[in-house]
Amino acid sequence: MERFRIFWAETAFENNYPDSDEYEGSHCYLLYETDGTKPIRLVASDQMEPEDATLGRDLSWVQDELNKLADRIQELELKETA
């Protein structure tokens, strides 16, 4: 299963994926979390100026998402050992 997938913004808009309406006509890619079949949550887009793409500013969501993933893995590991 691919939990995260990247779609061209126009494809996401045409398929009415979550929060894709603001990207109508955009030339960018959108990163979605899926339920294994369809997109359920827009995580981020790559629509930004290259000089602005820093982990401390525009890409700070990466840290948040990795921490959520790490917390979920830890939660599942604790359940497994209980």
Using DSSP bridges, classify how beta strands 39-45 and 29-34 pair: parallel, antiparallel or unpaired: antiparallel
The pLDDT assigned to 55 comes to 64
Neighbour count for residue 40 (Cβ, 10 Å):
13
Residues 6-62: tens digit of each pLDDT:
999 999 999 999 999 999 998 889 999 998 889 999 998 888 777 777 766 777 788
SS3 25: coil
**Cα Rg of the chain (Å, integer):** 15
Q: Using alpha carbons, list the distances in angstroms from residue 71 to 16, 17, 24.
A: 30, 27, 34
* Phi (first) and psi of residue 4, to 5 degrees: -120, 135
The pLDDT assigned to 47 comes to 84
Any idea where the domains of the chain sit in the sequence? 1-47, 52-82
pLDDT band, very low/low/confident/very high, at 66 (cuts 50, 70, 90): confident
Amino acid making up residue 40: I
pTM (two decimals): 0.69
